Amino acid sequence: EAVRSCLTPVTQVSGKTVVTIEGLSKNGDHPVQKAWAAANVPQCGYCQSGQIMQAAAMLRKTPKPTEQQIDEAMQGNICRCGTYQRIREAIKNAAGVKA
């Protein structure tokens, strides 16, 4: 489950496994990371790690998400560059869903 580190006290993760963007893949070759690059999602990079981690968590639970499931899962993860269409495209590509 993806959680926002900026809102999570350290005491809540004591004794639990924590995976950050660096732990998703050693070489940046996780399907979501590759799809992100292929869809030219990154602009400023500020929100990217949170967006990618949220997308990866969603795809673990829902391997072939619908548009609505993508919107619900990504809700609240704000991208000031406005790359939401590319984010949705990258998630579909990572899931192997026709964009």
Q: What structural domains and CATH numbers belong to the chain?
A: 5-95 (1.10.150.120)
- Residue 39: DSSP 8-state: T
Predicted confidence at residue 7, as pLDDT, reads: 85
Q: What is the mean pLDDT of residues 25-51?
A: 92
The total number of residues shown for the chain amounts to 99
Average pLDDT, the chain: 92
Q: Which residues contact 32 (CB under 8 A, 6 or more apart)?
A: 24, 52, 55, 56, 59, 90, 91, 94
Per-residue pLDDT at 99 exceeds 80: no
Predicted confidence at residue 11, as pLDDT, reads: 94
Predicted confidence at residue 91, as pLDDT, reads: 98
In tens, the pLDDT along 60-96 reads: 999 999 999 999 999 988 899 899 999 999 999 999 9
Considering 5-9, 16-20, 68-72, the range whose residues carry the highest mean pLDDT is: 68-72
Q: Contact 41/86 with Cβ under 8 angstroms? A: yes
Q: Contact 70/21 with Cβ under 8 angstroms? A: no
